[in-house]
Amino acid sequence: MLATASSDEKLERLGALGLDHGINYASGSFVERANQLTDSRGVDIVIDSIGGQNLVDSVAVLAFRGTLVSVGVAARAGSAIEARSLWARNNTLRGVFLGGAILPEYARIHPMIGDMLERVASGELHVEIDRLFPLADAALAHQYVESRKAFGRVVITP
């Protein structure tokens, strides 16, 4: 498994969670490095939570019939992907937004969320908690998230 992060420290922490190869995108091209690591084959699936130019660049690391999944826009920027960039290798672009599926797919989504919560509560699934902030410090919690220093979830408690 390959992953990208903005610091070597975050990549080290991902290594402890089973990462095979980490790419620090702040110090070099993740496209070049991913293609080196795969002998230019590319990867089967890219999950992108950044959007913007990162989403566009991710097309260049897809293998033949690879899938690019867009799950967020942390960069707060739109993406202009040229359809032809997907055609050459028969790639797929898919958008996923849980909020948009909750009502139309309630019968499927509601039990799925309940199952995940039970698996977290039992310890079967682990949620990486970076920091806890009291509600009174909600503004500080938001600043921390926006600083991009968080590794895992930031939780605001009552």
Closest-CA residue to 26 (of 55, 56, 4, 53):
4
Name the token pair of 156: 């605001």
Please state, in angstroms and rounded to a whole number, the distance separating the CA atoms of residues 147 and 13: 18
What is the per-residue pLDDT for 4? 94
Given 3-state DSSP classes, what are the helix, strand and coil percentages for the chain, each rounded to the nearest 5?
A: 40, 25, 35
pLDDT 10s digits, 44-80: 999 999 889 999 999 999 999 999 999 988 777 788 8
**How is the chain split into domains, by residue range?**
2-100, 107-157
Mode of pairing for the β-strands spanning 2-5 and 21-24:
parallel
Q: Do the beta carbons of residue 58 and residue 35 sit within 8 Å?
A: no
- Domain at 2-100: CATH code: 3.40.50.720
Q: Which residues of the chain have pLDDT under 50?
A: none
Can you give the pLDDT at residue 74?
Answer: 78
Please give the pLDDT value at position 75.
Answer: 73
